[in-house]
Amino acid sequence: MQDAYTQEKRLSRPLRYAILYLCLAIAIIISGLQHFVLTLPSASGKRLQYTDGIVVMTGGQQRLADGLYLLTEGIAGKMLISGVGDGVSRAVLVQQLGLDARQVNTLFCCVDLDFAAKDTRGNAIAARRWALENNMRSLRLVTANYHMPRALLVFANEMPEFDLYQYPVTPGDLRLEGWWHNPAMLRLLMREYAKYLAETIRL
């Protein structure tokens, strides 16, 4: 009887440690996710520093509209829209974004389209090639605020010799108040946080 009790105790100790480590890991992940959400960047109201170029990563019309606004206001000399889908052209963008005459002129004179990029690393590779071709040394990245931390990691790794600045866009449907109660927001933020962690580990 004593031997059976001792054996059971020996078996339960590793199990207790496994449960303890699992709980600790879950607590760290939850804490990290909360910190990730609370520290998401937001656009500053300050006057933006001029950069040689702007890189807009596709994923929403708001990113394109904001990037074109910055370009039209003279915050940069040229702009690259990276990851454009097949069939998209400047004429299509004019219709989709409802641009005024000044913005249309800016779009046709100073905006290049990249069709090759399929992910964030592809965006960075395309941006590096485009920037070198245009003798640039500084870029402003335009993407969603929840995507910006990972985008900065990837771009900094692909083009360490460039000065990189951010312009985070907050999507209109992104509701961070009580995000943990919203299944759609929770899935979105958890997925992006997981990708951010994976990229951090990879680099």
Structural contact between residues 161 and 50, judged by C-beta atoms closer than 8 angstroms:
no
DSSP track, 149-170: HHHHHHHHHH-TTSEEEEEEE-
Within a domain: residue 3?
A: no
Within a domain: residue 196?
A: no
Within a domain: residue 135?
A: yes
Residue 7 has pLDDT above 80, yes or no: no
**Which CATH number fits the domain that encloses residue 102?**
3.40.50.620
- pLDDT tier at 181 (50, 70, 90 boundaries)? confident
Within a domain: residue 59?
A: yes
Structural contact between residues 174 and 145, judged by C-beta atoms closer than 8 angstroms:
yes
Within a domain: residue 156?
A: yes
Within a domain: residue 22?
A: no
Within a domain: residue 20?
A: no
What is the tens place of the pLDDT at every residue in 104-131? 888 899 999 999 999 999 999 999 999 9
Overall average pLDDT of the 174-182 stretch = 81
pTM listed for this prediction: 0.85
Within a domain: residue 183?
A: no
**Confidence at residue 25, expressed as pLDDT on a 0 to 100 scale:** 72
Strand residues in the chain grouped as ranges (E)? 51-57, 76-82, 111-114, 138-144, 163-169
Question: How many domains in the chain?
Answer: 1
Q: Name residues whose C-beta falls within 8 Å of residue 40's C-beta, 6 or more positions apart in sequence.
A: 145, 146, 148, 149, 168, 176
**Confidence at residue 3, expressed as pLDDT on a 0 to 100 scale:** 55
DSSP track, 132-149: HHTT--EEEEEEETTTHH
CA distance 126 to 58: 13
- Give, as one character, the DSSP assignment of residue 180: G
**Confidence at residue 15, expressed as pLDDT on a 0 to 100 scale:** 74
- pLDDT tier at 174 (50, 70, 90 boundaries)? confident
- Structural domain boundaries enclosing 101: 51-169
